[in-house]
Amino acid sequence: MSCPEDLVAHMRRVLVAERDLHDLGMTWRWIESSAAISCPREVAPILPTLEGTRTRFEAMQARLITQMADETLAQLSDDLGAKARCAIDILVRNLYERTADVGFLATDDPVRAFCAATPAQRDAERAVLLARLREYQSKYSVYDDIVLCSTAGEILLRLSGGEAPGTSDPIVAEALTASAHVERFGPSDLAAEGQPAALCYAHRIQSPQGAVLGVLVLRFRFADEMVRLFAEAGGRQQVALVLLDPAGRVIASNDEDHVPLGVHLACGEGAAVQLINFAGREYLGLACRGTPYQGYPGPAGWRAVAMVSLLTAFSARAPDGTQEATPQAATADAELLAIRDDADAINRDLRRVVWNGRLMARGEHDDRLRLNAVLRQVAEAGVRTRARVEQAIQDIGHTALARGRQRAQELGRLMSDILDRNLYERANDCRWWALSPVLRQALARDDREAGRPAMTAVLEHINRLYTVYSRLVVFDAQGVIQAHSGEAPPGGLVGRAVPEALRRQVQGLNSSQAYAVTGFEDTDWHAHGPTYTYLAAVRDPVEERRIVGGIAIVFHAERELRAILQDILGDRPGLAAFVDAQGRVLAHVGTVDPVSALTGFDGAQAIVTQGDTQLWCARVAGRGYREFRQTDGYDHGVQVVVGLLLGPVERRRRAYSDAALKPPALRVDSRSQELAIFQVGAGCYALPSAALVEARTPQGLVSPPQAQDARAGLLEVDEAAGGRLVHVLCARRLFGVSHAPRAGDGTVLVLRHPRQPEQALLGLRVDDVLSVVDADPRDLGQAPAGFRPFAPWVTHLLRCDTAWGEPLLVQVLSPDVLLAQAGLDLGRVAAAPGADLSRAGGQAVPAWA
């Protein structure tokens, strides 16, 4: 996604960063100009690097601002998209269940018989059928009216009452000619009082012989459901959530005072954030069509739109809690990683410039002050630049991390809401099917065997329509199975006893509204692992209080739970899992093992490390749906865990290059020794600056086909007499650093010949140069004797203070030993005339000290 320039004007954080980076760019131009004027000869060797640094910094500045704006817009897109998708996708899944309900209820025998009866017979049976349909509505509480119509449109029975003898709603005529359900939303004389429109589902009613008897219409609680959906989508109060019909008219709104019903909203197609003009104001909005479920796309042309005022769209910062996370691991975005690498490269070049400048200034006298002044300006500007660039990168990283957290939470909430709505339907189904006249009459008979064919036919019919179940089982009051759907396992099911615990659960159900659910466990009735079995009591058709048996419906958990997770997670790298209260994984999908991801993650959210990558994990507990898990006394305790891949783990938590290493302050009588400090792996080392010619890139290093010992190859260095090949040692191999370097690590320190200072003698490949400091030789501690067997090149230790408050030990190396490692043992170098041996631990100080 690319952010349009006119939106950047509303992104305050981006504008502040753009201003700061522009000011730093001007600082670099000023340093160049002043250095070229004040000491042109001294800065001539480093001026090309300064110019190149400025040019690269300006290019990186533009990329940073673009990336920051894109990430800010993407965060808004995620926020709006999650809310719109939550509303429309849950609605589509909900309405899919309605298409199954209307088709099944249209085959209900009492409904058929009522429509086929004479007027006098209907008058006699009206109260009984009304009671039955109220039972249906009390279980499937998403409906607020049920209507039976004749083929001529006459209203034969209506649950909500009313005086209208007939209906002119075209849904009746459409249902009479349709072979499946009919769905219609719009103005209707079947709408509830005070409601301008109704969402109805209709299906023609046919006799077993195929004669059309009438039409069944179920009126969905549309307005009530949208209030729930908009509330569950959540988000900032400034976000307007609306539902549009194919013509772009608002048919539902989370704030009707703000966006009234019936108004037209000009919102184009596409998954990107777009500018929407409404009521004289500008909004940023995103429209989503529903994701089809089981082939059902939802009402044709419906879209959910989330939109926010352009004036407040970018006012909120990243959510609380992201600032403590590690920004280096917050994203796998290739562009941001490339920007970070470029920033590191610029910083390395600057450190090398300052480092080499300090080495060069060592031999100067009158000009040293001017050169050092320029170097201080370069170093200070470099620190400010690194700090501001890192702040911008962290800002982008925190935004990306906030997006990951928000996305994980929204996905988890959506999965949890869909699970509860799915299981709500399962609780409804078992209670309604327990009211089947066929089952009640067959189980109430003494000769139950005679009723088995009819019961089996009912169960098979149900199971063909409702494929979320692997099996339906009916048993009598003694717990003996009388009928079931699906093929029988070896040994059969009919005649076998159900587990006693199930029989007792059914016997304890005190009304037709009560139901029971087993734990998530294995059952002989299901060959696909642990699952839930829903239970309801079947009651005597005459004596309601007498339980004559029960019905058990076995949920196909393995398939259905995975489908919920997979549909929502999609192809996002990571994981999604349903987890019970004991931490057991009920189902999972994704590219990550959920058990290892859940280890050490017991809160609502956390960053979890797996190998070399990190996941943002969110745990979401379901809230129930309508009466399910809210007032019916049942709670499955299932939570959703979503983990989204963030990026690679940065093992190196601290950047020594920005540590501002400070040795102990020099004493008044001190004869300071200048030490050049560098980094290898996680360690800091130093060499006397007099032993070094320069630090340079490893470009041109010729490596041997197979590395031998610590030798890294040959490198040509420039001298007054021309080019010269020197051996290069690999400090990582020499010091035993086993972990791999970062992509940008690599600097070659060129050591000079101790007897011929103008001649380069050896190269040492290190990770990075840090700084050049002045130290009092009296502050150099003798290296422990235990160092000698494995690190003979370490002679002293220097304690330095750091920006993070913890001291750091710098290991001071002997150039002699390094030369010996390269096979260049030149023997002991004599002490310089007049050298104070006590200040160097009693050892001779080399001529270059």
Instruction: Using DSSP, state whether 644 is helix, strand or coil.
Output: strand
Which of 698, 700, 678 has its CA nearest to residue 687? Answer: 678
Long-range contacts of 310-316 (CB under 8 A, 24+ apart): 310/7, 310/10, 310/275, 310/281, 310/282, 310/283, 310/284, 311/10, 311/282, 312/238, 313/10, 313/76, 313/284, 314/7, 314/10, 314/11, 314/12, 314/13, 314/72, 314/76, 315/12, 316/236
Tokens standing for 781? Answer: 């501690």
Domain match, 499 and 602 both = no
For the chain, how many helices (H) and strands (E)? 17, 33
pLDDT value at residue 324: 45
Residues 545-557, mean pLDDT to the nearest whole number: 96
Residues 135-163, mean pLDDT to the nearest whole number: 92
Q: How confident is the model at residue 533 (pLDDT cuts 50, 70, 90)?
A: very high
In the predicted model, is pLDDT for residue 124 greater than 90? Answer: yes
Instruction: Please list the residues that pair with 257 across neighbouring strands.
Output: none
Domain match, 668 and 772 both = yes
Residue 288 is assigned to a structural domain of this protein: no
Domain match, 804 and 709 both = yes
Domain match, 638 and 497 both = no
* 325-367 confidence digits (pLDDT tens): 444 444 556 777 788 778 777 777 777 777 777 776 665 555 6
Domain match, 584 and 550 both = no
Residue 600 is assigned to a structural domain of this protein: yes
Whether the Cβ atoms of residue 142 and residue 221 lie closer than 8 Å to each other = yes
Out of 507, 538, 555, a domain closes at 555
Residues 490-515, mean pLDDT to the nearest whole number: 94
Whether the Cβ atoms of residue 408 and residue 642 lie closer than 8 Å to each other = yes
Which of 559, 550, 430, 573 has its CA nearest to residue 501? Answer: 550
pLDDT value at residue 556: 96
SS3 breakdown of the chain: % helix, strand, coil, rounded to 5? 40, 25, 35
Domain match, 697 and 666 both = yes
Q: How confident is the model at residue 829 (pLDDT cuts 50, 70, 90)?
A: very low
The rounded distance, in Å, linking the Cα atoms of 243 and 249 is 8
pLDDT value at residue 663: 87
The number of distinct structural domains making up the chain is 3
What is the model's pTM? Answer: 0.78
pLDDT value at residue 593: 84
pLDDT value at residue 31: 80
Domain match, 521 and 594 both = no
In the predicted model, is pLDDT for residue 177 greater than 90? Answer: yes
Domain match, 664 and 786 both = yes
What are the backbone angles phi and psi of residue 297, rounded to the nearest 5°?
Answer: -90, -5
115/166: higher pLDDT: 115
Residues 360-383, mean pLDDT to the nearest whole number: 69
Say which amino acid occupies 801: D
pLDDT value at residue 126: 94
pLDDT value at residue 651: 53
- In terms of C-beta density within 10 A (0-12 exposed, 13-18 middle, 19 or more buried), how is residue 178 classed? middle
Cα angle value 272/312/9 (rounded, 5°): 75
pLDDT value at residue 383: 75
In the predicted model, is pLDDT for residue 215 greater than 90? Answer: yes
Which of 107, 103, 129, 105 has its CA nearest to residue 210? Answer: 107
Say which amino acid occupies 540: D
Say which amino acid occupies 427: A
Whether the Cβ atoms of residue 769 and residue 752 lie closer than 8 Å to each other = no
Instruction: Using DSSP, state whether 713 is helix, strand or coil.
Output: strand
Lowest mean pLDDT among 174-188, 588-602, 642-656: 642-656
Residues 381-393, mean pLDDT to the nearest whole number: 80
Tokens standing for 232? Answer: 């569950």
Domain match, 482 and 577 both = no
pLDDT value at residue 837: 28
Residue 243 is assigned to a structural domain of this protein: no
Domain match, 713 and 592 both = no
Task: Give the CATH number for residue 460.
Answer: 3.30.450.20
Domain match, 566 and 595 both = yes
C-alpha separations of 385 from 381, 513, 679, 773 in Å: 6, 69, 21, 21
In the predicted model, is pLDDT for residue 516 greater than 90? Answer: yes
Instruction: Using DSSP, state whether 746 is helix, strand or coil.
Output: coil
C-alpha separations of 171 from 31, 114, 219 in Å: 79, 20, 12
pLDDT value at residue 331: 56
Q: How confident is the model at residue 658 (pLDDT cuts 50, 70, 90)?
A: low
The rounded distance, in Å, linking the Cα atoms of 104 and 467 is 13
Out of 555, 575, 600, a domain closes at 555
365/516: higher pLDDT: 516
pLDDT value at residue 564: 94
C-alpha separations of 242 from 219, 353, 412, 507 in Å: 21, 59, 22, 47
The rounded distance, in Å, linking the Cα atoms of 563 and 467 is 13
Structural domain of 583: 561-648
Beta strands in 596-706 (DSSP E): 605-610, 613-621, 639-648, 673-680, 683-688, 692-696
Residue 11 is assigned to a structural domain of this protein: no
452-465 helix and 47-105 helix, angle to the nearest 10 degrees:
150
**Mean pLDDT of the chain, nearest integer:** 85
Residue 666 is assigned to a structural domain of this protein: yes
* Overall size of the chain counted in residues: 849
**What is the spatial order of strands in the sheet that 212-220 belongs to?**
155-158, 143-149, 212-220, 198-206, 182-186
In the predicted model, is pLDDT for residue 835 greater than 80? Answer: no
Task: Give the CATH number for residue 787.
Answer: 2.40.50.180
Residue 823 is assigned to a structural domain of this protein: yes
Residues 59-77, mean pLDDT to the nearest whole number: 89
Tokens standing for 271? Answer: 């998954």
Residue 520 is assigned to a structural domain of this protein: yes
Say which amino acid occupies 724: R
The full DSSP string for 594-609 is HHHHHTT--SSEEEEE
The rounded distance, in Å, linking the Cα atoms of 336 and 343 is 10
Alpha-carbon dihedral of residues 762, 764, 765, 767, nearest 10 degrees? Answer: -150
Domain match, 631 and 761 both = no
Out of 648, 675, 703, a domain closes at 648
Kind and range of the H or E run holding 218: strand 212-220
Whether the Cβ atoms of residue 37 and residue 373 lie closer than 8 Å to each other = no
* 403-455 confidence digits (pLDDT tens): 888 899 999 999 999 999 999 999 999 999 999 999 999 999 988 899 999 99
In the predicted model, is pLDDT for residue 68 greater than 80? Answer: yes
Whether the Cβ atoms of residue 675 and residue 812 lie closer than 8 Å to each other = yes
* 391-404 confidence digits (pLDDT tens): 888 888 888 888 88
Residue 249 is assigned to a structural domain of this protein: no
Task: Give the CATH number for residue 566.
Answer: 3.30.450
The fraction of the chain above a pLDDT of 70, given in percent, is: 90
296/394: higher pLDDT: 296
365/319: higher pLDDT: 365
The rounded distance, in Å, linking the Cα atoms of 799 and 811 is 9
The rounded distance, in Å, linking the Cα atoms of 107 and 799 is 87
Which of 401, 407, 417 has its CA nearest to residue 639? Answer: 417
The rounded distance, in Å, linking the Cα atoms of 566 and 350 is 49
* 14-64 confidence digits (pLDDT tens): 999 999 988 888 888 888 888 777 777 777 777 787 788 788 888 888 888
Q: How confident is the model at residue 647 (pLDDT cuts 50, 70, 90)?
A: confident
pLDDT value at residue 106: 95
Kind and range of the H or E run holding 561: helix 557-569
